Structure 1
Amino acid sequence: MAGDAPLFSFGLLADAQYADLPDGNTEGRRQAYREVPGKLRAALADLRSTQPPLAFVMHLGDIVNGNPAGQEQCDREFDLVAGIFKQQLGDQLPAVHVIGNHCLSVPRATLLQRLHIPPSCYFSRSLGSGWRLVVLDTTEMSGHSDYPPDSQQCREAQEFMAAHPMSDQDPQMSSWNGGITQRQLQWLRQALAAAEVAGERVLVASHHQLGEGGARATHMAWNWREVQEVLLASPAFRIAFAGHDHTGGYACIHGRHFVTVEGLLEAPSGGNAYAVVHVHADRLCIQGRGSVTSRQLVV
């Protein structure tokens, strides 16, 4: 029914990617690093005042960019952006953070502490109304994971890179991408199975896209094929949100949705890039603000 009230709603942003740097230019697109704090404050203030109140605000990774000036500067930039989330949202509106590749310009331990991310960096929580959020860490298996060189995460990343060299068949194997380990993949299977038993529908969040066509092939997770197979095998899975590919994207595979949210970093001057997502019994309504595409998706 078109006029029915949502079960719940939440705010959504991707790739704030702040740094105290001059504008960048990638593929002809402008990265306005120094405009990020103002845009982020405005976006979060609007989300905080949305009525009826939102259940949470989710940022899909790359909260900061990193800075060649060194670690102290990276830490200061992270302090600034983490502080904006705290100041604008307070204790009333929870923030859910996904780890992105640029986030790891600061230590992983710092991200976990300041952004209230569980130690595993991937987690599941009930959203109520028969929905569950599953957050994945697609930096866990990567060359920039910040895990010790002798860790299982690093060993698995080295083995995967050796078995999947960059090629036309695997254009996603750039150093700035990453994937999930077999341990995390098994955890995902178990989380989906538990949701099936509970009769819950599952919303997945990750930094790198997991569904073919949902982002450019060069911006997918390393082992997206394996993860996509696990997701589509579960009737509980309905939609996945990702960031990373700042231009945004969308794919529908067997009735399941894979959405890439446009990056706040590349919102034009005077504009912004974020969304409010209304979850109804039969659909998700993404109300894009600024550069983010609005969509109505049957779930």
Structure 2
Amino acid sequence: MAAEQRPLFSFGCIADAQYADLEDGDTEGRSQLYRQVPGKLRAALAELRAARPRVQLVLHLGDIVNGNAAGQAQCDREFDLVASIFDQELGGDVPALHVVGNHCLSVPREVLVKRLGIPETCYYSRSLGSGWRLVVLDTTEMSGHSGHAPGSRQHREAQEFLASHPMSDEDPQMSSWNGGITRQQLAWLRSELAAAEAAAERVIIASHHQLGQGGARATHMAWNWRDVQQVVLLASPAFRLALAGHDHMGGCACINGRHFVTLEALLEAPPGSNAFAVLHVFGDRIRIAGSGSVTSRELAV
């Protein structure tokens, strides 16, 4: 790669490993190849660790495990296996950053957070250098599966939001497998974007559920995506790209020059294939170099 063509930086990205020791699934005519996940994840992480230009981190967009009806002990073993694969394959050379997904919470939130090194709030930001910032959101915080105690601020707000936004043709995202961000997290996001604007930084958002209309199917969006998209993200000149998982088919939308991309799930990569990407960030564009079933894209920023 010639010097003038080198990216400012690069990072790896994987969506929905979603491991479980289960027979293959069949959802909407697509296969979920649960038992192939460990091998595919090892291969993906090994390729990302060896990638050139070197990746500065690997981002997993949520649902590291699926959950298993065999019980909590089995869920915990499956989680430990997949978490160990990240440790072994990245070897401390490349940090892994994790997004909380709805299936992740088949493991207690406090266990998930501690094992994966996620900050206690489960939303956080990191400088990427070169005038860029990564902001990670928790779209499970306001949900029926949040793992927060009944009576907690998060639980009360989820119940209030559900009551005022019943499932309907206008709100098809209000299913139990989706969730949203609380008022407190929304205020924090505003402050992060304001800080980025003041520092002349551009921002990449990562969340499990998609936040931009058309970036995923309407049934797989975050509960309060409209508020997040319109009132916060599109209102900030710093925001450039939102990455999500959850909708295993993937998707992409561009709204007012800002991009909303959902990565295809590793869980559903066909036999003999894989699903991950390297994002190369240039001054004027982001190149998503997809591997296997992840779509490659060139996004002007």
TM-score (norm 2): 0.98
Match of 1:259 among 252, 258, 261: 261
Q: In structure 2, give the amino acid aligned to 1:245.
A: D
Instruction: Give distance in 1, aligned partners of 2:34 and 2:194.
Output: 41
Indicate whether 1:118 and 2:119 are aligned.
Answer: yes
Match of 1:238 among 233, 237, 240: 240
Q: In structure 2, give the amino acid aligned to 1:43.
A: A
Tell me, what secondary structure is at the counterpart of 1:251? strand
Structure 1 match to 2:85: 84
After the TM superposition, which segments of 4 or more aligned residues of structure 1 sit over 3 Å from their partners? none
Structure 2 match to 1:46: 47
The C-alpha deviation readout for 1:1-23, integer Å capped at 9, x for no partner, is 99521000000000000000000
Instruction: Give distance in 2, aligned partners of 1:197 and 1:51.
Output: 32
Instruction: Give distance in 2, aligned partners of 1:29 and 1:144.
Output: 25
Structure 2 match to 1:144: 145
Match of 1:270 among 269, 272, 275: 272
In structure 2, relative to structure 1, the CA distance for the partners of 1:197 and 1:290 (3 Å cut) is same
Instruction: Give distance in 2, aligned partners of 1:262 and 1:298.
Output: 21
Equivalence map 1:1-299=2 (5 Å): 4-229=5-230, 230-299=232-301
The C-alpha deviation readout for 1:126-146, integer Å capped at 9, x for no partner, is 110000000000000000000
In the alignment, structure 2 segments of 5+ residues that lack a partner are none
Tell me, what secondary structure is at the counterpart of 1:276? strand
Instruction: Give distance in 1, aligned partners of 2:228 and 2:86.
Output: 30
Tell me, what secondary structure is at the counterpart of 2:289? strand
Tell me, what secondary structure is at the counterpart of 1:172? coil
Deviation at 1:61, TM superposition (A): 0.1
In the alignment, structure 1 segments of 5+ residues that lack a partner are none
Instruction: Give distance in 1, aligned partners of 2:26 and 2:11.
Output: 31
Instruction: Give distance in 2, aligned partners of 1:159 and 1:2.
Output: 54
Instruction: Give distance in 1, aligned partners of 2:273 and 2:6.
Output: 29
Deviation at 1:192, TM superposition (A): 0.2
Give % identity. Answer: 74
Q: In structure 2, give the amino acid aligned to 1:272.
A: N
The C-alpha deviation readout for 1:94-118, integer Å capped at 9, x for no partner, is 0010000000000101111111000
Q: In structure 2, give the amino acid aligned to 1:73.
A: Q
> How many correspondences in the alignment?
299
Instruction: Give distance in 2, aligned partners of 1:252 and 1:94.
Output: 29
TM-score (norm 1): 0.99
Instruction: Give distance in 2, aligned partners of 1:149 and 1:231.
Output: 30
The C-alpha deviation readout for 1:46-77, integer Å capped at 9, x for no partner, is 00111221100000000000000000000000
C-alpha RMSD of matched pairs (Å): 1.0
The C-alpha deviation readout for 1:24-55, integer Å capped at 9, x for no partner, is 00000000000000000000000011122110
Q: In structure 1, give the amino acid aligned to 2:281.
A: V
Instruction: Give distance in 2, aligned partners of 1:95 and 1:146.
Output: 23
The C-alpha deviation readout for 1:199-230, integer Å capped at 9, x for no partner, is 00000000000000000000000000000011
Deviation at 1:90, TM superposition (A): 1.1
Tell me, what secondary structure is at the counterpart of 1:11? strand
